[in-house]
Chain A
Amino acid sequence: MRYAMAIDTKKCVGCSDCVVACQTENDVPIGYCRDWVVEVMDGTYPQLEMELRSERCNHCENSPCVRCCPTGASHYSEGGAVLVTKNECIGCSACITSCPYDARFVHPEGYVDKCTFCLHRVKNGMQPACVAVCPTKCMYFGDLDDPRSEVSQVLKKRKYKTLIPEAGTKPHLYFLI
């Protein structure tokens, strides 16, 4: 099982609903976030192009954060989701430095925090909070090993890209373009 997420940049309106939904679902303190929205502009007036993407931890297959963690707090969990075990984390921030996607932060309680793919929901047959709330339904989540999963289906049909592929991290976040 390999969990992955595909985000349709053609549909995302950048409303940040995914950010608030994640905050309330996962008790992320105000002022911090596990996911965020990026706007990329190209061109000059009036020939313009814009891409909007909801970003979060890429749950990489080859994760520098897991490799560099001195205590083993950062680890691979179910479906390859990268998680941090709170009480094993010493807050050294080595993982934060190693992550090319800037997906981690130090929680005010002293441990490193990040997206969990909402595994607590997924295990119960629900979608991650960001996917479930998105008004544009621009996010797809599921198992890459299951060809019938929504994410496998949409990746078969659509053109996509990953972020910073040259880092060699094998990210599990796909952006439909």
Chain B
Amino acid sequence: MKSRRQFIKISSLSAAGLIFGGGLLESFANNLVKENKSYFKGPFDFKRTPTYCEVCFWKCAGWVYKDDNGRIKKIVGNDLDPNCNGRFCPRGTGGVGMYYDEDRLKTPLIRTEERGKQTYREASWDEAFEYIASKMKQIKKEYGPESTALFTHGSGGKYFGTLLKAFGSNNIAAPSYAQCRGPREVAFISTFGQGINSPENTDIRDTKCLVLIGSHLGENMHNGQVQEMSDAIDKGATIITVDPRFSTVAGKSKHWLPIKPATDNALLLAWMNVLINEELYDKEYVKKYTFGFEQLKDHVQRYTPEWAYGVTTIKPQQIRETAREMANAAPAVIVHPGRHVTWYGDDTQRLRAVAILNALLGSWGRRGGFYNPEKAEVTHHKLPAFPKPKKNWRDAMGGKYNLADLALASGVCDASIPSPDMDYAVKAWIVNGTNLINTLPDQQKTIKAIQALDLIVVVDTMPMEITGYADVVLPECTYLERYDALRISQGRVPSIALRMPAVDPLYNTKPAYWMAKELAKKLDLQDYFPFETIEEELDWELKQVGTSLEEMQRIGVKRLEREFDDLYFADGENVEFNTNTGKIELYSTALEEEGFDPMPVYTPHPEPAEGFYRLIYGRAPMHTFSRTANNPNLTDLMDENSCWVNPKVAKEWDLSNGQYVHLENQDGVISEFPIKVRVTERIRFDSIYMVHGFGHADKRMKRCFGKGVSDTQMITNVMTDPIMGGTGMRGNFVTFRTDIKKSEV
């Protein structure tokens, strides 16, 4: 039996002696960039190059400016870009820190054993690819090509995805689905026959009433949405915020409903009850477009505001008042579907309730509600047919989660843990741009899956925790140093954006497309990468939409014409929805067919035991997941998370502001590091709150190592959504351990 993968915490790298792959070095000399002085008449006449941001998934397009010494100085938004309108968020502005971070991965690494201790040795690119290719061939021979998987949350995913499909596997998963927005997509598809996607098709700009349920816009800097919310505030829109925490946007809301956590469904059902019983719903819209109204009417009779009060702690009067407020604004009202919605395991049903409310208010397809987005269509060069995989991760799910329209990262992880009941297991992972240790809940399970693998390759720019488990680490250059696939976006207007290198890659780092192509050569799959360089591929694709690489280098973003004039439904228009009945399904026939409740119900969830508090986590505007935790510019704004505690709770535990405590969860897991207490009125007494993405355990990231607590470490109870396999993460309870000194853990 092979030795277990030890998590390699301490860098084995010596400062000197980078090994370069002989003959594989490519020049990324950026000789295509042209001086274009007309665009910037400032005192500094910079050369600027277009990019789209890689710090989060919003992918705002912008310009990279350099100083007279050719060093990256700043990044600013591109005025033409519908995602950002010329304004980057703090993370995009601070994206320069990703490039300058001296803790970056610098050269390929291969796991090796020296005197019984595992360590990494520096390797040439050729050696690294040779190692990976021979392992992959061996896995293919022993288990079939389907036993490989790709986890990706970055732009390089396209190229590694092509490689994996060419190899014979379709296990391609992004944690942004089962750990984030998956339930929302399934709920909206089963209601309206159409998902929400990204950027969201919420018409916030023109809304009169924005209802946010646990969604903390402004703390999650989903740029376009935050901008439009600000426009809506200017125009006098009402904001209703449902959150156990007084979020930033709660501070801008007319109504803050500090709901008891895990009871949102009760409130949503009571709102339906009021809208229907007070006849406030859009009768014409409901009659014309929806299916199952009578069933819904009967169904919600028992969910009165008085009943909901006992469950949610929100007063009946306030439930009625807010329902009326929504109806008054209708159809220019948005009951916002949120984004990270994997909370309690009945999330698809909660999002179904959100979708149904929007249908009752007639906001779908209406100005100020939800518009119909159009996505840019770009033809990709035809590739040879991919081999058809005989198996995939779904074969390990026992027939569950059929409504999941994308692969589940947690499902692929589960399929990697061998079990006597399965004749299939995933044996190799390629992980690109996602720190699975801090992304998938239940870290022990993730680690168990990793231990059973024959190969794990991690492609990243930073020595994130996941790299410590890798057999091979491939250092990717940052988005500021590379070309990537085009950004092809949906929106009111479809658009495309180009990313090109502003500077040569630092150290011995490479772009993902180059890695995928070189690996393909080793695996005899080069026919799937028909272009010699990415510039040629981009130019070919751009010419299909009437532009060129040369033009895009000058403009960065191109807005395309809408093909259809259908941003909103026309008055009285007949609309065919992509559901079984062709209608908006208040009563879901698709869910019923799969054996689930056709209409959402309220299910009580476990509550914290005495002395325990529900762990709620969220975002800070200057950080993205755990990805930015070591970014010098962004840690300068926020370098650790804190634990928000209600003053009553603080008094009970004798906690004071700024004190450091350890946390222990319901399963006895004690946080690896202590966290700073923030005593604040902004949180309920039954919950604590922290920002996700801190508490890094890899010493190679010097700025963020040991700063704060990793919420993911405390999330050991996962409530899986039976409908689509989303991993509900808000059923965890923690208590304070003031007795532990830092050195004891």
Contacts and interface: CB of A to CB of B under 8 A. Distances in A.
Interface of A: 10-11, 13-17, 19-21, 23-25, 27, 30-31, 41, 43-46, 48-52, 120-121, 123-126, 132-138
A48 B251 CA distance: 8
A136 to B, nearest CB: 4
A13 B87 CA distance: 15
Contacts of A48: 246, 250-251, 256, 681-682
Interface stretch (B90-98, B129-137, B153-161): B90-98
Nearest to B96: A24
B249 to A, nearest CB: 7
B74 interface: yes
A10 B622 contact: no
Contact of B251 (A20, A21, A49, A125): A49
A79 B640 CA distance: 40
B226 interface: yes
Contact of B90 (A15, A120, A138): A15
9 closest A-B pairs by CB: A13-B218, A50-B251, A15-B621, A136-B230, A24-B74, A17-B90, A20-B93, A45-B681, A20-B94
B594 interface: no
Nearest to B87: A135
Contact of A124 (B42, B223, B681): B42
A15 B622 contact: yes
27 contacts: A11-B230, A11-B234, A13-B249, A13-B621, A14-B621, A15-B90, A15-B621, A15-B622, A20-B93, A20-B94, A20-B622, A20-B634, A21-B74, A21-B88, A24-B74, A24-B75, A45-B246, A48-B256, A49-B251, A50-B248, A120-B42, A120-B43, A124-B43, A126-B42, A133-B87, A135-B221, A135-B226
Nearest to A42: B681
B189 to A, nearest CB: 30
B338 to A, nearest CB: 17
A125 B40 CA distance: 11
Most buried by B among A46, A126, A132, A135: A135
Nearest to A28: B636
Contact of B88 (A14, A45, A133): A133
Interface string B612-651: 0000000001100000000011101100000000100000
Interface in B55-76: 73-76
Nearest to B249: A13
A119 B252 CA distance: 32
Most buried by B among A11, A120, A134: A11
Contacts of A124: 41-43
Interface residues of B, number: 51
Contacts of B86: 132
Contacts of B632: 30
B680 interface: yes
A115 B86 CA distance: 23
A126 B74 CA distance: 16
Given A10-B252, A14-B218, A135-B226, 20 more contacts: A13-B230, A13-B249, A13-B252, A15-B89, A20-B93, A20-B637, A24-B74, A24-B633, A30-B632, A41-B680, A44-B681, A45-B258, A45-B646, A48-B681, A50-B251, A126-B42, A133-B76, A133-B93, A135-B88, A136-B226
A24 B217 CA distance: 25
Contact of A138 (B42, B94, B221, B230): B230
Contacts of A16: 90, 621-622, 637
B633 A46 contact: no
Contacts of B685: 45
A156 to B, nearest CB: 16
Contacts of B90: 15-17, 19-20
A13 B41 contact: no
Contacts of A11: 230, 233-234, 252
A19 B41 CA distance: 24
B234 to A, nearest CB: 7
Contact of B636 (A27, A30, A132): A30
Nearest to B248: A13
A151 B77 CA distance: 23
